[in-house]
Amino acid sequence: MTEESKTRKNLQEAFAGESQANRTYLAFAKKAEQEGLLQVAKLFRAAADAETVHAHAHLRTMGGICDTAENLRTAIGGETHEFTSMYPRMIAEAEAEGEQTALRNFKFANAVEQEHAALYQKALDNLGRNEAVDYYVCQVCGHTHEGEPAGSCPVCNAAKSAFKKID
């Protein structure tokens, strides 16, 4: 399949749609749980998992999953694009339109994407060494921290309790 083929474009569109559906349904599940609607939350999580199955199948079909070193290089490229091009444009547009909540979210994401690129580069540089590292993610801004955080989030200043350990 060529880069310009309709099938490839359809796979890319389907991958994006399935990926968005997964994240959306997980957010819906969280809200349903908060409202005490546990069965509906379970349904949303089940559908989200199914959307992940679809997204991964589309990504594999496009040849988008390679060996880990190449996957890390791809991730570095994607994160770098986000913090050097995508989010700076979005930040400027949100500022110009006075959209303060969006501006805050974009700024948090921009800072964290830089961290992700650096963490991926570190993983690539240390590939195969299998050094154990715990990661913690701030549930307010997404800051990704190596090791247990000592204090508040350096990106959004959330309390240490806002961090979630990733297994």
- pLDDT single digits (tens) 55-105: 999 999 999 999 999 999 999 999 999 999 999 999 999 999 999 999 999
Backbone φ/ψ region at 147: left (φ over 0), alpha (ψ -120 to 50), beta:
left
Q: Is 99 within a domain?
A: yes
40 domain residue, yes or no: yes
Residue 1 has pLDDT above 90, yes or no: no
Residue 95 lies in a domain: yes
Is 1 contained in some domain? no
Q: How confident is the model over 110-151, as pLDDT tens digits?
A: 999 999 999 999 999 999 998 899 999 999 999 999 999 999
Residues 75 and 124 reside in one and the same domain: yes
- Token pair of 140 as six digits: 């307010």
Q: According to the model, what pLDDT value does residue 105 have? A: 97
Q: Is there a single domain that holds both residue 94 and residue 138?
A: no
d(CA 53, CA 81): 26
Residue 3 pLDDT class (50, 70, 90 cuts): confident
Do 51 and 102 fall within a single domain?
Answer: no
Do 84 and 55 fall into the same domain? no
Write out the residue range of the structural domain in which residue 164 sits.
132-167
In a domain, 121, yes or no: yes
Instruction: Report the number of distinct structural domains present in the chain.
Output: 3
161 and 107 in a single domain? The answer is: no
Q: Per the domain annotation, does 145 fall within a domain? A: yes
By the 8 A CB rule, do 156 and 163 touch? no
Examine the domain organization and report whether 83 and 98 are in the same domain. yes
CATH assignment of the domain containing 92: 1.20.1260.10
Residue 2 has pLDDT above 90, yes or no: no
pTM of the entire predicted model: 0.89
Answer yes or no: do 126 and 136 share one domain.
no
Residue 126, pLDDT score:
94
Residue 81 inside a domain? The answer is yes
Please report the pLDDT score of residue 130 as a whole number. 82
> Distance between terminal CA atoms of the chain?
37
Same domain, 14 and 54: yes
> In which band, very low, low, confident or very high, does the pLDDT at 152 lie, cut at 50, 70 and 90?
very high
Q: State whether 103 and 52 are in the same domain.
A: no
